[in-house]
Amino acid sequence: MYDTESVKEDVNLQPPSTNEQPPVATEEPTTITQMSSDPGNVSHEGTKETKQQVNRSTNSYCPPHGTVNKIITDGVTLIVLWTLLWSLMGNEVLPGGNLFGLIIIFYSAFLGGKILELIRIPVVPPLPPLLGMLLAGFTIRNVPIIYEFVRIPTTWSSALRNTALTIILIRAGLGLDPQALKHLKGVCLRLSFGPCIIEACSAAFFSHFLMKFPWQWGFLLGFVLGAVSPAVVVPSMLLLQENGYGVEKGIPTLLVAASSMDDVVAITGFNTFLSIVFSSGCQYFGLHGSGGLVTLVLSFMAAKKWAKDKVGVQKVVANTWNIFQPLLFGLVGTEVSVESLESRTIGMCVATLGLALSARILATFTLMSFAEFRFKEKVFIALSWIPKATVQAVLGPLALETARKVMAPQLEAYAKDVMTVAFLAILITAPNGALLIGILGPKILDRGEVIGPLKLELSDFEHH
């Protein structure tokens, strides 16, 4: 291949001939022709690039990694676990056995959660997997061909729910920071207590007149509904935090910090009225709900002594929750039968839920009026404070389990209605709450500097 620049220099040194053209015009095309007329190099390079692309695409799936690897690993683990249980317990894990039904619920709820994780909507946070778990249990209950092989003893179901409640209370106690509690003043304190108590009172009022509930059952239902779901709120706030929305006013930090205390208030109120409902007389109150409060207090005191060492314990408890979460929501879904639901009952339950939620939204907006937030920010905080999920799944069926345990069939009708309202609350508010936060957050909140992981510096809210 010729050097074009050297050819040009040689031409400039020689005088031009009258019988021939300057070689410049012929050399450059010749160079171009020779460069373009060598198809071997082009095809060889193209073949190498194609082979590299094929190798890269082949290596990306062998060995599998990422989501594919996780699905395969989890599936193999579940199959090995089922085989081990079969070898130990025999027919209990075969169709018709009690353990078989529990395994079917766990597998179905686990798969339902994974499927919902794959559903992604642009500019919207992921839908909570617990919704897929709940729908999986509901599907099992209302498909006769499947449900006839799924028989869970009442004692097993009650024990699993109580275990799930214990895990939630331990996580809540470990998550409370003593230093942060000292700074829970002003807006954060109002957001933790006010909306929950107001929604509980509103639900008691509306259920008394719409659903014909006694007042004590109305307040029990109210505190079931009063808890906000950190399982929905926290991931949504983290997503906004990562993109810098609302960080200047500390809105994501505020909602995450208040969500834990909101659950504590709801669980405490529920346990109190559960004791009142199932007491043997007006002068004697049972201690049905004392265990939950003691669990919360003991875990909080232990975390206070452990200080930074509690992180390892929190990881263990979180991993345990990953096992019990599919069981909890799957079992809640299997408690709701379409055949036993009347249209009037559903209508009254939805009406009570809607009115109580409206009262909560209005109360949250009013309580935020005393803070330094703009009108749109107050609207966002009020609407992002409605998702319900985990606490409702635990507390909703607990009244029914207690009624069956104390053999009070006259109270089972109220308990079933409480569970139905809790089921509808999860089904309606969890996905809609996540969508509202994901859609309204970027449109309403000011975008500041993008920062790292969420830090709960509650002292920033003292002046509010």
pLDDT, tens digit, 9 for 90 and up, residues 48-57: 555 555 455 4
Q: pLDDT digits over 5-21, tens only?
A: 444 444 444 444 444 44
Residue 46 has what pLDDT? 52
Closest by Cα among 164, 217, 168, 207 to 332: 164
- Per the listing, tokens 């290596």 go with 59
Rounded to an integer, what distance in angstroms lies between the CA atom of residue 149 and that of residue 200? 38
Model confidence at 44: pLDDT above 60: no
pLDDT of residue 50: 53
Q: Which of 80-89, 115-124, 414-423 has the lowest mean pLDDT?
A: 115-124
Q: Which residue has the tokens 């920071």?
A: 177
- Give the pLDDT confidence score for residue 238 in this predicted structure: 75
User: pLDDT per residue over 341-363, tens digit each?
Assistant: 777 888 999 999 999 999 999 99
* Gap between the Cα atoms of 213 and 200, Å rounded: 14
Q: Are 228 and 222 in contact (CB under 8 A)?
A: no
Return the structure tokens found at 293: 């409060």
Q: What is the mean pLDDT of residues 233-248?
A: 81
Q: Is the pLDDT of residue 143 over 50?
A: yes
Measure the CA–CA gap between 341 and 335, rounded to whole angstroms: 11
Cite the beta strand spans of 125-257 per DSSP E: none
At 129, is the pLDDT very low, low, confident or very high (cuts 50, 70, 90)?
Answer: confident
Q: How far apart, in whole angstroms, are the C-alpha atoms of residue 257 and residue 275?
A: 29
Tokens (6 digits) for 209 = 């007149």
Tell me the average pLDDT across 163-188: 71
pTM: 0.69
Helices first, then strands: H and E counts in the chain: 20, 0
Angle of helix 67-89 relative to helix 98-118, nearest 10 degrees, comes to 180
| DSSP H stretches of helix in 119-153 | 129-141, 144-147
| Structure tokens given for 455 | 């830090």
Tokens 């809105």 belong to which residue?
A: 251
pLDDT at position 197 is 94
Q: Average of pLDDT values for 214-233?
A: 90
What integer pLDDT is reported at residue 53 of this predicted model?
53
Question: Among 262, 282, 89, which Cα is nearest to 176's?
Answer: 262
Which pLDDT belongs to residue 177?
Answer: 61
pLDDT the model gives residue 462: 39
For the segment 201-227, the average pLDDT, to the nearest whole number, is 93
Non-local CB neighbours of 309 within 8 Å, separated by 6+ positions = none
Q: Find all residues with CB under 8 Å of 251, minimum gap 6, and list them.
A: 240, 373, 377, 380, 381, 445
**Which one of 3.90.1520, 1.20.1530, 2.60.40, 1.25.40 gives the CATH number of domain 163-461?**
1.20.1530
Residue-wise pLDDT for 268-295, tens only, equals 899 889 888 887 657 444 555 566 667 7
3-state secondary structure of 447: strand
pLDDT digits (tens, 9 = 90+) for 433-445: 888 888 888 888 8
**Locus of tokens 């060889």:** 44
Contact indicator for 129, 114 with CB cutoff of 8 Å: yes
